[in-house]
Amino acid sequence: MSTQPKVGVIFKSYEPMSSIQKYAAQTEASGCTGGFWIAEAYHWFRKYGHEARGCFATLAAASLSTKTIPIGLGITSPYMRHPTIQASECNAIDELSGGRFIMGIGAGKVGTEYLDLDMKKYTPVKTHKESVDIIRGIASGEEFAYDGELFKCDMPAVDRKGRGLRTNIPVYIGATGPFMQKLGGRDFDGLLLPGLTSPGFTRYARENCWAGAEKTGRRLPDDFPVGGVILAACNKDGAKAKDATRSYTGTYVINKLRNIKNDVILSSSGLPDETWEPFRQAIAEGTEDNVTHLVTDEMMRAFTVISGTPEECLEITQDLVDAGLNLPLLEVVGASEADNLETIRLFGEEVLPKLQPGA
């Protein structure tokens, strides 16, 4: 059965608030039914000259600049805030947006490096499972007590439905490894894949997600959301667009080699392992912040980085959709605010109308 894709736009929360509001408004005007999303940026991004802003405040700005499209968080880390606080923020943004919010949680490796956590105790699967249980329980408005291995709470009831508030806010999981992807199939409302998601990695993740659901007797619908963060720049000048995504691709490769212990992200691109040797050498020499020159057009195409002319962007996006990515989230990375708005506008005018359903 074919599934009509929903394309969204995602920015990290290091963008200026005024720009976020413009990007959100343009996303809605361009007909991106996948919505406008924010990924929480941590102070780690100051290495690249960016200033982090809180994801929920940023989402509030986006909510006030739109009226109809989903507003998504893709993602924040459950290690950064207690689940009861996550739920409070979640409920606030859902109310502000008029019931359009999608909550997203994931490990957030570059954020957790600031925390003194016993990761043998706070394992990702356990932490995310208990977090989603508490977030959903609080959103329901029903009285409940939770006594988990990691988190506990005693929550009185409140009539959320009577106040016109949603009681079933969707929660998606950001998942890189197979155990987290299987958890997504068992217990979450959608799956979000990391930067450098390729068609091969999409198929790998879907297989894990559906296997996790099957193990517990859950049947996922054909349109179960499978999203992925995809670097994007669209311009009539294809070379300009490719240059805009090149440095960000290098940063993602370094992050995967250094922080994410899942070689499938790189190997599923179809590129040979020796491709990454210069990047490993840069990490060893301490020059990992200067690897843009190592990123080739072939490498970006293998990772289905959506950059180039509208025609090229359509072809690349279609490859992802055909692999089962029914919620591509365009991480727009132009050289300026005007370039970013142009990418979103061109996608709405010249890519989305020609995008076909995936199998």
Q: Per residue of the chain (359 residues), what is the pLDDT tens digit?
A: 567 899 999 999 999 999 999 999 999 999 999 999 999 998 888 888 999 999 999 999 999 999 999 999 999 999 999 999 999 999 999 999 999 999 999 998 776 777 788 888 999 999 999 999 999 999 999 999 999 999 999 999 999 999 999 999 999 999 999 999 999 999 999 999 999 999 999 999 999 999 999 999 999 999 999 999 999 999 999 999 999 999 999 999 998 898 776 689 999 999 999 999 999 999 999 999 999 999 999 999 999 999 999 999 999 999 999 999 999 999 999 999 999 999 999 999 999 999 999 97
pTM greater than 0.85 = yes
Report the distance separating Cα 306 and Cα 343, nearest Å: 10
Give dist(CA 173, CA 149) in Å, integer.
Answer: 20
C-alpha–C-alpha distance, residues 255 and 252, integer Å:
5
Residue 156's SS3 state is: coil
- Tell how far CA 272 is from the center of its chain: 26
Could you tell me the residue ranges of all domains in the chain?
8-237+308-354
What dihedral angle (degrees, nearest 10) is formed by the CA atoms of 205, 252, 109, 7?
-50
| 8-237+308-354 CATH, one of 3.40.50.1820, 3.40.50.300, 3.40.30.10, 3.20.20.30 | 3.20.20.30
Cα(314)–Cα(332) distance, integer angstroms: 15
Q: 323-355 burial string, b = 16+ CB within 10 Å, else e?
A: bbbbbbbbbbbbeeeebbbbbbebbbebbbeeb
